[in-house]
Amino acid sequence: MKTPMLKHSRAGFTLIELLIVITIIALLFGLTIGGFTYAQRFANRSKTAATIKAVQSGLERYNTEFGEYPEPASPGDTISIQDKTYTVSGASMLYQAMSGDGYDAIKIAVPPANAGNPQSNGQVEADESRNTMITDMPKDIWRELEGRFFLIDGFSKPIQYVKALPQNLTGGAGANPTTINTHYDLWSYGEDEENTMSTSIESNAGGPLRQASEKWIKNW
């Protein structure tokens, strides 16, 4: 795996500018209809959608530079937030892959040369900035908890990510798919607090979970 050296030029709105606009729209919407709770829900979902869109763009940059999409180093890692358990490995990996702050949560064959500290510390050092995939990444789309840094949605919960198995990319016969999409699934549980350990492929099987997943914000 080679260390990326490309510099990304600024195009259009930055993520932080989009989040500011979304917040203003949500507040105006709430004042208009007098529904603060609904406006807050709208703001949270809109912020999540903007974050997912930015991460998708960052993942495409990562794929261009490394020839593959990133994969969590420890896919089974979980974290407890408000008495709910969430898979956090994908969110931790995404934080590092998008910000450039560390790389020990990313599954890589050979650590990149001169890439800085493998652990995250909440700051992007000079030798890490060349690995940044999302420039000007606002602090309100990530958090630190129990020594872990990870991307969050508008509800302050870990963004979920699953990379497709290699055999799914080629359509290999007999493969048991782990994703709905060809390359990766990316989602937030939104207001769903009952299925916080459910996966994208499980939600596609039908039944109550599929109905509950209508609350999710997802890329499929």
Digits of tens for pLDDT over the chain (220 positions)? 444 444 444 445 577 677 777 677 766 666 665 566 777 888 999 999 999 999 999 999 999 999 999 999 999 999 999 999 999 999 999 999 999 999 999 999 787 677 788 999 999 988 898 899 999 899 999 999 999 999 999 999 999 999 998 876 655 555 678 999 999 999 999 999 999 999 999 999 989 999 999 999 999 9
Q: What domain range includes position 197?
A: 49-218
34 domain residue, yes or no: no
21 domain residue, yes or no: no
149 domain residue, yes or no: yes
Predicted pLDDT at 180: 95
169 domain residue, yes or no: yes
Predicted pLDDT at 2: 44
Predicted pLDDT at 166: 84
Predicted pLDDT at 39: 78
191 domain residue, yes or no: yes
163 domain residue, yes or no: yes
Question: Where does residue 136 fall: left (phi above 0), alpha (psi -120 to 50 degrees), or beta otherwise?
Answer: left
Predicted pLDDT at 37: 77
Predicted pLDDT at 1: 44
Q: How many domains does the chain have?
A: 1
In the chain, DSSP assigns E strands to: 78-81, 84-87, 142-145, 148-151, 160-163, 184-188, 217-218
54 domain residue, yes or no: yes
